[in-house]
Structure 1
Amino acid sequence: MATLRKIREIYRRVRRKYNPQSHQYEPIPGETSPSANQTFSSTSPSTSGSFVTAREDISPQSLLSIHQVDSLSSTLSSSSDPLIPRIRSSNMDKHFFNILILGFSFLLLFTAFQTGGMIQETVVKGVNQEYAKQWNGHSWSGYTSLSIVYLVFSIANWIAPSIVAIFGPKTSMIMAAVIYCLYIGSFLYPLWWTLSAASAVLGLGAAVIWTAQGNLLTLNSNQSTIGRNSGVFWALFQGSLIFGNIFVSFQFKGIDIIDEKTRQTTYSGLLGAGIAGTILMFMLRSYPASETNEKPVGPVQALYDSFTLFRTKAMVLMFFTFAYTGIAQSFITGVYVNSIGFTKAIGENRKTFVGVAGCLIGIGETIGGGIFGIFGKKTAKLGRDPIVFFGLILHIAAYAGVFINLPFNANLGDTDESSIIPTSLPLALVCSFLLGLGDACMNTQIYSQIGSFYESNSAPAFAIFKFVQSLFSSLFFFFTSEITLNIQIYIMVGTAILGSITFFIVEQAARRKSRSADITPSIAGDDVKDGITNPAYVKDTIGQSTTTLVVP
């Protein structure tokens, strides 16, 4: 109600021409007072004081969302009225607070999971020796564990929107975070069956937490802030790789086989970070449905929406982009860093450099996310596709470096085989940074694209993204112990090029559609013929947006 009162005050003021010299509101010749139920549309001002044009073609019962309030405030920002900056600031601050809490909670939680996942194959080598008698000859593979996680993750993405619809994004996220903590705890005293069960259950938790995260990111963003918020979240989230791997590099220093004491100390520290991140999630603020563009749906409808959206043209094209991010994620966070640790030519402290490489990946991810967050408005002018193509160039350069620098069998275990050139630790670390920076370029723009295209239907859209991504992560982890490093690089280069091309096609199609259509964004105004429920996002970036406002 407070927001509505402020909007009424804005309306009363901007219907008169504000004179900053006299600090008075001067009547506009020929203007009449509006009726209480009249509908208005804000447009870019053509003359000072002429900010609002009356319209009567939209029902006064239409909902007023915080996104529309933010858009109106942005349109009126050229006014010298002293009230308007305060309105815009008060609306944005509480939503940006949620983005920060979301980012910091994921930083802590994924300091546990991402770091634990990176070192898992290295740690499991020691676990297999330690538990050889108890497991009666059975052995465990870190790649198998992650393959199970991502396989269940991909399947569970179809029911995750229904779970989020039942419990809400905040509660769903907290429940999933508890599962992450249980998974990390399973490595303190590992049993073969507990590792298997924990991996499967974590897949369900991952589907829920990422669907809820995408939903919360969209609910707390609008067309002008989605790029910034995606970048800020990504920078904070990937900071987990920096802190976690600094910790690991000290823990593993001078150690060839990870013993029980080192493993328990490492995973106890990671578990503590995960618990702290879970507790921080309780600080997330919830808002009434009337303050969002997201329409509440039931669990059955959420499942139906997911299947419907998956068959649309845009999603079919984006399938290849999503698939590449899944393959790249597996290689970057699982295969590559362990390959460094398995390459004997790097030296006796090669296990230490598993953590250093992971840290540099995190620095690249954080710098990329930070650039797109801090300079979000400037990068938005470039468009999303140039940033994705820049990420493609970085990744191809990194893959070329890995191809010539590491033995082709380095992903399979300790090796003293030679590579195409003498193995160079500095080159391996530079490639780590390039992989992280390129990954940030691609993922932040995918988040921004989904948040823009599917503003009113974000949970199913993010669930589909994570379904495809996690499915290909699972497949890649499953086959990574069967195919050598060079074959993996061929696969990644091919899918990277294909995924970048399809991303470009979707972006260009949306731009053409928005330029040829006279679109007024509204809460219920979904156009799902091609899968894009909010194709008007481009108009916001080129200063042509028209936002419907109902004054009660």
Structure 2
Amino acid sequence: MAGKYIIDSLKLETVETLVIDETFLNFNNSNWPNSESNLTFEEQNSIIKKSFVDQKFGDGYISLSIVYIVFCISNFVAPGVVSVVGHKTTMFFAAASYLLYILSYLSPTPGFIYTASALNGLGAAFLWTAQGDFLHHQSGTEKLMARNTGIFWCIFQCSLLCGNIYIIFAWKGKKYVDTEMRTQIFTIFAILGAAGCGLLLTLKSQLCGLENRFKTKNEIESSKIRDFLNSVKNSFKLLFTKKMLFFAPLILFDGFFLGFYTGVYPTTVGNSKNLENASAAVGLCGLMTGVGGIIGGGIFVFGSKLLNRFSRVAIIFGNSILMITAMLLTLFNHPFSANIAATEEKPKVFGEVKRALVLFISFANGFCDAVYKNVIFSSITEGFEGQTSYAFALRQTPDHAQFAFS
């Protein structure tokens, strides 16, 4: 959620503290605007500095795009890879790709951060698929699977609370995220990430792979290769069925919405400098998104009897009204350029960024996402009976893909 904003903060800090060295002078001489430009010297100099910094650090949106492009493609082969490599090994090395991505923000050169983004996208597909199948094997019954998945989901959503509470206090009163703040938060994340990778190695998987205990080594290898090829073939085959093609627009929209509320909106909040303590508000935004997601998911768990009175179409329609309202309020409550760069501009409609609306929009984003995903999951389970593993793999996003192999 903070990736784009942190990269933008690094660029602002670098421009303010830029040292005129030989590297900058060479860039300046090669890129100075032509003499016919109507810009003043100060404006031209500002453009040159911004261009120099942009090519030095890359872009947070490009980084996130690479993560999800690679993640999307890798989902087609993830079930096969897990079946060949095994759960624990897959989870460890896939989780290590997250650790590498975290470390890239300590020194975010374009080459480092874009490479780490690609590896993170690859690891994400394998990690979520492997842990979903691991939960499935360890649970034994549908009742235990529901309980264990519920525990997993609650812990996972709490990450949005804990991390963003830290940001609210650590970034309060800051114009942007400076080097010290960035180093501090990603060092903490790296330590926690490394500990998490280590904990994965302690998991017991005694129930996994029992079907192979009476087979020879050659039979096991042949079976794994066959399973891998079949999983890839079946995923592509399902993608072009009539039922999936009709269902795809809702899945596609859910993906676009995910990109908005996890990347674009938090960046917009942080860049809206008309808002007091805009940097800390990024954490507040993430916190309320998490609360909305937890409440939205909880309604489907604890209020299932009430919701059963309504059709899925009615639920989607009502949820879409709330989402459209939140989108309109985003346009009214933030400067139009805030999703790209920090700005002191005021919103075109409301005149100033209202913190109460930031909280409401963030909550609505999390709530609407939870509703969309619950409807999509129940529809897949009912509409793709016998093909759910491939259907879930086709619609995977990192926050719910643990179901892809179960």
TM-score (normalizing by structure 2): 0.75
Match of 2:272 among 329, 332, 343: 343
Residue 407 of structure 1 is matched in structure 2 by: 335
Kindly provide the amino acid, as one letter, of the partner of residue 11 in structure 2.
K
User: Equivalents in 2 of 1:225, 1:193: separation in Å?
Assistant: 44
CA 1:198–1:126: 2 relative to 1, 3 Å? farther
CA 1:443–1:117: 2 relative to 1, 3 Å? farther
Determine whether 1:275 maps to 2:194: yes
Residue 281 of structure 2 is matched in structure 1 by: 353
CA 1:242–1:455: 2 relative to 1, 3 Å? farther
Counterpart contact for 1:232–1:370, Cα < 8 Å: no
Counterpart contact for 1:152–1:203, Cα < 8 Å: yes
Query: How far did residue 141 of structure 1 move?
Result: 1.0
User: Equivalents in 1 of 2:128, 2:354: separation in Å?
Assistant: 37
Query: How far did residue 435 of structure 1 move?
Result: 0.8
Query: How far did residue 381 of structure 1 move?
Result: 6.6
Counterpart contact for 2:88–2:203, Cα < 8 Å: no
Kindly provide the amino acid, as one letter, of the partner of residue 263 in structure 1.
R
> How do residues 63-82 of structure 1 correspond to structure 2 at under 5 angstroms?
none
In our comparison, the structure showing a higher alpha carbon Rg is 1
Kindly provide the amino acid, as one letter, of the partner of residue 300 in structure 1.
L
Counterpart contact for 1:233–1:369, Cα < 8 Å: no
Deviations 1:158-182 (A, max 9, x none): 2222212212344323321111011
Match of 1:178 among 96, 119, 136: 96
Query: How far did residue 122 of structure 1 move?
Result: 4.2
Larger proportion of helix? 2
Residue 160 of structure 1 is matched in structure 2 by: 78
> How do residues 441-480 of structure 1 correspond to structure 2 at under 5 angstroms?
441-451=371-381, 453-454=383-384, 456-466=386-396
CA 1:275–1:380: 2 relative to 1, 3 Å? farther
Counterpart contact for 1:235–1:370, Cα < 8 Å: no
Residue 434 of structure 1 is matched in structure 2 by: 364
Query: How far did residue 310 of structure 1 move?
Result: 1.0
Counterpart contact for 1:365–1:436, Cα < 8 Å: yes
CA 1:163–1:455: 2 relative to 1, 3 Å? farther
Kindly provide the amino acid, as one letter, of the partner of residue 100 in structure 2.
L
User: Equivalents in 1 of 2:253, 2:328: separation in Å?
Assistant: 17
Aligned length: 350
Determine whether 1:241 maps to 2:163: no
CA 1:427–1:333: 2 relative to 1, 3 Å? same
User: Equivalents in 1 of 2:171, 2:68: separation in Å?
Assistant: 27
CA 1:210–1:154: 2 relative to 1, 3 Å? same
Match of 2:244 among 312, 315, 334: 315
Residue 391 of structure 1 is matched in structure 2 by: 319
User: Equivalents in 1 of 2:196, 2:308: separation in Å?
Assistant: 31
Query: How far did residue 303 of structure 1 move?
Result: 0.7
User: Equivalents in 1 of 2:149, 2:323: separation in Å?
Assistant: 21
**Over aligned residues, Cα RMSD in angstroms?**
3.2
Counterpart contact for 1:231–1:372, Cα < 8 Å: no
Identity of aligned residues (%): 35
Query: How far did residue 194 of structure 1 move?
Result: 1.1
| SS class of match (2:278) | coil
Residue 287 of structure 1 is matched in structure 2 by: 207
Query: How far did residue 277 of structure 1 move?
Result: 3.4
| SS class of match (1:254) | coil
**Which deviates further from its counterpart, 441-450 or 429-438?**
441-450
Residue 124 of structure 2 is matched in structure 1 by: 206
User: Equivalents in 1 of 2:147, 2:324: separation in Å?
Assistant: 26
User: Equivalents in 2 of 1:343, 1:411: separation in Å?
Assistant: 9
Counterpart contact for 1:188–1:267, Cα < 8 Å: yes
Kindly provide the amino acid, as one letter, of the partner of residue 255 in structure 1.
K
Determine whether 1:260 maps to 2:260: no
> How do residues 84-123 of structure 1 correspond to structure 2 at under 5 angstroms?
115-117=1-3, 119-123=5-9
Kindly provide the amino acid, as one letter, of the partner of residue 155 in structure 1.
I
Kindly provide the amino acid, as one letter, of the partner of residue 207 in structure 2.
Y
| SS class of match (1:344) | coil
Q: Which ranges in structure 2 are unaligned for 5 or more consecutive residues?
A: 28-51, 212-222, 399-406
Kindly provide the amino acid, as one letter, of the partner of residue 256 in structure 2.
I
User: Equivalents in 2 of 1:118, 1:444: separation in Å?
Assistant: 28
